Amino acid sequence: MKRSEVYIRSPLTWLVPTLALVISPHLTRFPVWAILLVFILFIWRLLAVEKPGLLPAKWLLLLISIASCTGIFLEMGTLFGKTAGSIILSILLAIKLHESHQTRDYMILVALSFFIIVTNFFFSQSIPTVIFMLVLVVLLLVSLISINQQNAIIPAKQKIRLSIKLTLQALPLMLVLFLLFPRVPGPLWKLPEEKQTATSGLSETMSPGNISKLIQSNELAFRVNFENRMPAQEQLYWRGLVLWYFDGREWQKGKSNPTLSPQLQHSGETISYKVTLEPHQRKWLFGLDIPTKTPDKVKYTNDFLLRTTQKINQLYQYELSSALHYRIQPQISPWERSAGLKIPSNTNPQTLQLGRQLRQQYTSAEEIIQAALSIYRQQEFYYTLQPPLTPGFDPVDQFLFQTRRGFCEHYASSFSLLMRAAGIPSRIVLGYQGGTTNPINQVVTVRQKDAHAWSEVWLQDKGWVRVDPTAAIAPQRIENNLNAALSDNEPRPLHMQLNRGLAKELLFYWDAIDNRWKQWVVGYDVKLQQSLLEAFAKRKIDFSELLLIMTGAFFGVVFILVLSTLKPWKREKPRDPVLTTYEKFCSKLAKAGITRHAYEGPEDFAKRAAQALPEKKDSIQLISRLYIRLRYEPDPGPVKLDQFKQLSRDFKCK
């Protein structure tokens, strides 16, 4: 009795921990009070499994639901965004848990869990996420089995095995559906814009310190597959956005002039490549300096930036070609000239003074630029991730004339201001520089740590020209990477310290796998599906054909699965003639109303049959005795079998 009680448990003992795991990936986005609330609700429910009297009253649950919805609304400003929605679903799940007492309620909880699992995919579609999803599915299946086992005593091991078996068998079916389910392009309804953006990445402004902060992150920004030739490391300038307005401390994008049209002349070969951009919740794309044409549905701004109409909130793949040798805007417009020369008044007087000095000293713009760069090179400037703070009103002055320690944003900012003071139109470009080439698949991975800022100046006849003052002070940063450019005693971000030796190699493998995953799984869309199908069928496959192929393939796999588990070819064994003969004999008796019970042995049955049919007592007993001997004696001999068969055949009840 005690032993069986161990097994017969409420399905809640499985369900509650599983649901906790379902919610867990969302907790990072929860406000602290919500984490506490969910934690308390779960523990409470677990305690109440044994003592149902502990369950909270209905009015209290209602109060908690209303209060937490209000709380989320106050915190997030909405109830229906991805983050707010997933938090509310999770809290409601925890509350519903307290109202669940029967099969139907438990089933609703499991159904709700699938919603919560899927909302997590808005935030992550990585390989670990998918593995975690598989674990959750298996655990939910175990819970479903526990819900529906109806007091059967099934060891947990057996339930887990059954769940894993179901999941493994479903995997090939899932693959068929995933590949062949007809994909349709674009959203069916307009996606609500998300207000908050928790993603790291470049922002639309640049002030001292915000790029060096970004460097701390090893998060992936985008990956690039070069079609043919990959440019040299120092040519990998990934243009993101251009900042025109400077207030003395911070550079801003400002309003760009829509009346301008981009003018581009390029020479030499163009480089083709495919970019797989991580969702960054912004409307800009990155391109190698400088893109010659835009992908579909992407706007080309007059400062040669790529703009999308929608925020990039999922993995985005685009193909580009860029020219390394180019001439843009050889005729500068009045708008560009005035914006490119605008100097904030009353700030950084020393820098402005220096600029004016350079203007007087040299005649050509090229000479001024060289002179400015040589200031960085010749004076004691340092390239460091931890520049001293420059909190005053004149941060550029402080940097140029006092601290002389800075990161790319300090150099770019001071250089552009110098140029403007010297009468050369100048602007700041934000983007990434370099990237890591994975030796396994030759894919260039650009991470947040590769974030960079540089300057562009406008020169007569040449148009806008890139000048990177960082290259003057730390050429290693551009030619190699940041790690090489930092001095030895400079403390590195954690990801740089870890990225060496075996770990570095393993990370390359992981990166290569992750790249495949992103391109083929996360990025699997209508285009990829069509190209895959065309590669097989050598022609275009339309919607209805695809449905037919999918259904056919699905049931084909089902057929194979059923065959391999049921193994019908192993079924029919040649049956024992003794047994079949005896069964015939029994069925004759059964027709006369004497049915052999499954629990009855032949001897007992013979006794009962003889009692019921006294006139047939002898033959019944003889046949039964022969049967027992034939079936259980080691060597009864062939004659007896014939006799047994003969007797049974002749046996009649009446």
User: Any contact of residue 497 with other proteins (CB under 8 A)?
Assistant: no
User: Any contact of residue 170 with other proteins (CB under 8 A)?
Assistant: yes
Closest CA to 395 of 248, 556, 526, 502: 248
- Spatial neighbors of 241 by CB under 8 A, at least 6 apart, are 202, 204, 253, 284, 305, 429, 430, 431
Among 166, 341, 613, 641, binds other proteins (CB under 8 A): 166
Which of 26, 98, 410, 452 is catalytic? The answer is 452
Angstrom distances, CA of residue 264 to CA of 268, 332, 424 = 13, 12, 20
Q: d(Cα 326, Cα 466) in Å, to the nearest integer?
A: 11
User: Any contact of residue 139 with other proteins (CB under 8 A)?
Assistant: no
Positions in 189-208 near other proteins (CB under 8 A): 189, 191
Closest CA to 5 of 151, 103, 145, 146: 151
Positions in 85-104 near other proteins (CB under 8 A): 103-104
Query: To the nearest whole angstrom, how small is the minimum distance from the Cβ of residue 507 to other proteins?
Result: 23
To which residue do tokens 């919805």 refer?
69
525 and 135 Cβ atoms separated by less than 8 Å: no
Give me the residues paired with residue 276 across strands. 223, 317
Among 40, 43, 79, 111, binds other proteins (CB under 8 A): 111
Beta carbon nearer to other proteins, 43 or 526: 526
Beta strand 291-293 with 316-328 is: antiparallel
Positions in 301-320 near other proteins (CB under 8 A): 314
Beta carbon nearer to other proteins, 491 or 552: 552
Query: To the nearest whole angstrom, how small is the minimum distance from the Cβ of residue 598 to other proteins?
Result: 4
**Calculated CA dihedral for residues 206, 210, 214, 215, nearest 10 degrees:** 100
CB-count exposure of residue 567 (10 Å: 0-12, 13-18, 19+): exposed
- Spatial neighbors of 287 by CB under 8 A, at least 6 apart, are 238, 239, 275, 306, 320, 322
Q: d(Cα 44, Cα 95) in Å, to the nearest integer?
A: 11
To which residue do tokens 């120092």 refer?
234
Closest CA to 30 of 94, 95, 86: 86
Query: To the nearest whole angstrom, how small is the minimum distance from the Cβ of residue 267 to other proteins?
Result: 39
Among 324, 371, 521, 553, binds other proteins (CB under 8 A): 521
Query: To the nearest whole angstrom, how small is the minimum distance from the Cβ of residue 600 to other proteins?
Result: 9
User: Any contact of residue 419 with other proteins (CB under 8 A)?
Assistant: no
Query: To the nearest whole angstrom, how small is the minimum distance from the Cβ of residue 436 to other proteins?
Result: 25
Q: Is 653 in the active site?
A: no
388 and 332 Cβ atoms separated by less than 8 Å: no
- Spatial neighbors of 59 by CB under 8 A, at least 6 apart, are none
User: Any contact of residue 51 with other proteins (CB under 8 A)?
Assistant: no
Among 144, 220, 372, 609, binds other proteins (CB under 8 A): 144
Which of 397, 468, 511, 514 is catalytic? The answer is 468
User: Any contact of residue 148 with other proteins (CB under 8 A)?
Assistant: yes
Among 8, 171, 503, 548, binds other proteins (CB under 8 A): 171
Helix (H, G, I), strand (E, B) or coil at 405: strand
Tokens of 44: 């409470």
Mask 595-634, x = binds other proteins (CB under 8 A)? x-xxx-----------------------------------
User: Any contact of residue 129 with other proteins (CB under 8 A)?
Assistant: yes
Which residues contribute to the site for other proteins (CB under 8 A)? 103-104, 107-108, 111, 114-115, 117-118, 121-122, 125, 129-130, 133-134, 137, 141, 144-145, 147-154, 158, 162, 166-167, 169-171, 173-174, 177-178, 181, 183-184, 186-189, 191, 314, 521-525, 558, 561-562, 590, 595, 597-599
Active site members: 408, 452, 468
